[in-house]
């Protein structure tokens, strides 16, 4: 007697025809990061897999259903922001019955019925038999819908089936870790209200533009999981009213308010916005955007991107400043994460150690904080890349563990997928990196770290000219971008054989490390500037006496071996030892 789960991917052939490599990479990533860990945790045993399906055995029917519900619930969250052509959905059928075990396979009526139940399930849904329904009543918090009796292929008797209702709140899904909450351990996200922009044009027809721009800003800000954004329904109640901002902030219980206006004059439109820190009634950022009024919707998209990308950084800066004036022991989880990010971006060994201390404190305050786990992986990954850790294998394993935890807590955190993509690149698994990078972009297309990473990935994939465009886009949407963006741009320009441009970009870096000097050396070598090439090679070896062509090769993730060899050849010409 066993509980059998039969799962099958919906529209496998059509998806493979549309994008074979991408579909394979996404399916592989779902199995490795979501499906297999959930099966292991709930006590399941994968009996067999096919290209688009699997058969799983469970000793407990409750565990079988808990596994299926968690998989389908989390898959729905993963698919929520993806286009239909990129979504992977499963049908799942569950039965309890006698099976015949033959070496590494199982047979029998119980297996056949599970397969027929799977075929009757909706895409993304679960269908169970009468016996499963009877066994789990009162033992698991899910609802069922009676589908009645159905006649199915190769089964002589009608089957009574039940559909599992999956539209309950995600927090009630079996197996999903709950975030511990308490007065001193809650994540203290900065909160912001975007008040309706004021139409100063005197033209009623411009009202749709001002309202649309306000709604777009709210929607795009909400993509940043580290902000608590007040909904449109709440903020639009203040439209057309002259309200005291401190009163509005108190009524909405927010830390920051964004207000502004739109003015049309001739063929131009001007948008002015300002960010206000509510408790001090202090202006901390203001900007004006002047555009030619040609395509109003394109302007709306452009201004939204500019405002949102810059605004998020300004809120982070302001929140970090506020955190500094508090006693350290009172810093809450979010503020610890924010401080850890600042230290991480400084990219020194001492700051990395301090960042580890802060991020560990954040996780101690709130073990269920997905964003903290993802950033612990990022910070540990930095120590691994720069060899600032005593045990590289243990650190790498810790990075993987943190990412698995973060992913299980929140499938829809763009930072989690961004860091997973970066780890996949470090492992030279560009297929997996592409899946997570696409996911990160779909979740938050205005996040500068995600946008710049798209440029990096395209560079490694053999499309450096496209990579340059993405990196320049990241620098445009984030004028206060980290200095290392220039290094990413230089590497893409080098791969595109634009060596003079690469050198010009590197000159924006104030404190070159070994890798920057090595790139300088390779670019000068390719330009025939032997003296400059050897000088930078010497500086690289001074920064890192252990640098060799072999250690440099570990930092190069080109999909093409030819491109990797050419890069190493340039380094050898400059004087980097074998």
CATH number of the domain residue 130 falls in: 3.30.70.1230
In the three-class reduction of DSSP (H, G, I as helix; E, B as strand; rest coil), residue 92 is classed as strand
CB 88 within 8 A of CB 30: yes
218 part of a folded domain = yes
Residue 87 and residue 75: Cα distance in Å, rounded? 9
Same domain? For 417 and 562 the reply is yes
Burial 297-331 (b: 16+ CB within 10 A, else e): eebbeebbbbbbbbbbebbbebbeebbeeeeeeeb
224 part of a folded domain = yes
186 part of a folded domain = no
Q: What is the DSSP letter of 325?
A: T
Same domain? For 229 and 304 the reply is yes
183 part of a folded domain = no
Asked whether the CA dihedral 115, 120, 124, 125 is positive or negative, the reply is negative
Q: For 76-201, where are the E strands, in sequence order? A: 90-97, 100-102, 105-107, 126-129, 143-150, 159-165, 191-194, 198-199
* Burial (CB count <10 Å: 0-12, 13-18, 19+), residue 237: middle
177 part of a folded domain = no
Domain boundary residue among 324, 342, 377? 324
Same domain? For 316 and 332 the reply is no
Same domain? For 168 and 200 the reply is no
C-alpha dist (Å) from residue 471 to 206, 256, 502: 34, 30, 13
Tell me, what's the pLDDT at 313? 65
533 part of a folded domain = yes
Tell me, what's the pLDDT at 168? 42
Domain boundary residue among 110, 140, 172? 172
Low-confidence ranges of the chain (pLDDT < 50): 168-186, 325-330
Residue 29 and residue 380: Cα distance in Å, rounded? 22
Tokens at 146, concatenated = 């009676």
Same domain? For 410 and 384 the reply is no
Question: Residue 461: CB partners within 8 Å, gap ≥ 6?
Answer: 430, 434, 559
Could you tell me the residue range of the domain that residue 86 belongs to?
Answer: 2-172
CB 44 within 8 A of CB 57: yes
543 part of a folded domain = yes
Same domain? For 291 and 386 the reply is no
Q: What is the DSSP letter of 35?
A: I
Same domain? For 340 and 408 the reply is no
CB 218 within 8 A of CB 181: no
Domain boundary residue among 345, 368, 397? 397
Same domain? For 273 and 418 the reply is no
Residue 489 belongs to a domain with what CATH number? 1.25.40.10
Look-up of token digits 């779902």: 30
Residue 314 and residue 318: Cα distance in Å, rounded? 6
Q: Which residues pair with 261 in a beta bridge?
A: 198, 272
Same domain? For 106 and 254 the reply is no
User: Structural domain tally of the chain?
Assistant: 4
Same domain? For 429 and 449 the reply is yes
Tell me, what's the pLDDT at 444? 78
In the three-class reduction of DSSP (H, G, I as helix; E, B as strand; rest coil), residue 441 is classed as helix
Burial 208-217 (b: 16+ CB within 10 A, else e): ebbbebbbbb
∠ CA 159-164-169, nearest 5°, is 175
198 part of a folded domain = yes
Same domain? For 6 and 87 the reply is yes
CB 100 within 8 A of CB 127: no
Same domain? For 201 and 267 the reply is yes
Reported as type and span, the H/E element at residue 524 is helix 514-526
CB 142 within 8 A of CB 162: no
CB 89 within 8 A of CB 185: no
């Amino acid at each position: 007697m066993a509980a059998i789960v039969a799962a099958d991917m919906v529209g496998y052939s059509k998806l493979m025809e549309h994008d074979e490599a991408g579909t394979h990479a996404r399916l592989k990533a779902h199995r490795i990061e979501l499906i297999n860990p959930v099966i292991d945790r709930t006590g399941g045993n994968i009996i067999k897999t096919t290209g688009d399906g699997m058969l799983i055995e469970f000793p407990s029917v409750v565990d079988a259903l808990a596994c299926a519900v968690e998989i389908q619930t989390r898959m729905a969250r993963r698919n929520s922001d993806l286009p239909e052509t990129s979504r992977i959905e499963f049908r799942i059928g569950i039965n309890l019955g006698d099976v015949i075990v033959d070496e590494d396979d199982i047979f029998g009526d119980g297996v056949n019925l599970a397969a027929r139940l799977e075929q009757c399930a909706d895409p993304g849904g679960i269908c169970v038999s009468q016996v499963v329904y009877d066994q789990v009543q009162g033992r698991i918090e899910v609802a069922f819908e009676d589908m009645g009796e159905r006649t199915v292929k190769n089964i002589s008797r009608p089957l009574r089936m039940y559909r599992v209702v999956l539209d309950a709140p995600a927090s009630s899904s079996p197996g999903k870790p709950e975030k511990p909450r308490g007065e001193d351990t809650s994540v203290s996200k900065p909160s912001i209200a975007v008040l309706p922009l004021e139409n100063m044009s005197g033209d009623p027809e411009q009202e749709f533009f001002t309202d649309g721009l306000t709604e777009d800003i709210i929607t795009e800000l909400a993509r940043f999981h580290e902000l608590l954004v007040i909904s449109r329904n709440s903020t639009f109640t203040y439209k057309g009213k002259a309200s005291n901002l401190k009163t509005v902030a108190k009524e909405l219980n927010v830390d920051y308010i964004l207000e502004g206006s739109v003015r049309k004059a001739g063929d131009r439109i001007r948008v002015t916005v300002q960010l206000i820190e509510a408790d001090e009634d202090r202006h901390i950022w203001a900007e004006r955007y002047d555009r030619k009024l040609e395509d109003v919707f394109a302007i709306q998209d452009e201004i939204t991107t500019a405002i949102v990308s810059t605004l998020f950084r300004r809120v982070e800066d302001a929140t970090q400043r506020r955190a500094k004036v508090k006693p350290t022991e009172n810093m809450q989880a979010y503020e610890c994460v924010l401080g850890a990010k600042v230290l991480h971006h400084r990219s020194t060994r001492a700051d990395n150690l301090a960042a580890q201390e802060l991020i560990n404190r954040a996780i101690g305050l709130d073990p269920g904080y997905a964003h903290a786990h993802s950033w612990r992986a990022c910070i540990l990954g930095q120590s691994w890349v720069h060899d600032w850790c005593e045990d590289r294998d243990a650190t790498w394993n810790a990075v993987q563990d943190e990412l698995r935890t973060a992913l299980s807590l929140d499938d829809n955190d763009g930072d989690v997928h961004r860091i997973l993509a970066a780890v996949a690149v470090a492992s030279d698994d560009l297929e997996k990196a592409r899946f997570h990078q696409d996911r990160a972009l779909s979740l938050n297309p205005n996040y500068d770290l995600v946008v710049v990473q798209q440029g990096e990935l395209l560079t490694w994939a053999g499309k450096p000219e496209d990579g340059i465009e993405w990196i320049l886009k990241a620098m445009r949407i984030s004028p206060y971008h980290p200095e290392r963006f220039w290094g990413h741009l230089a590497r893409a320009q080098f791969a595109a054989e634009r060596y003079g441009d690469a050198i010009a970009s590197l000159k924006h870096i104030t404190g070159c490390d070994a890798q920057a000097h090595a790139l300088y050396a390779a670019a000068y070598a390719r330009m025939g500037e032997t003296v400059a090439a050897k000088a930078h090679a010497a500086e690289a070896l001074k920064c890192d006496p252990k640098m060799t062509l072999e250690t440099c090769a570990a930092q190069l993730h080109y999909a093409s071996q030819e491109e990797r060899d050419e890069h190493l050849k340039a380094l050898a010409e400059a004087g980097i030892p074998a």
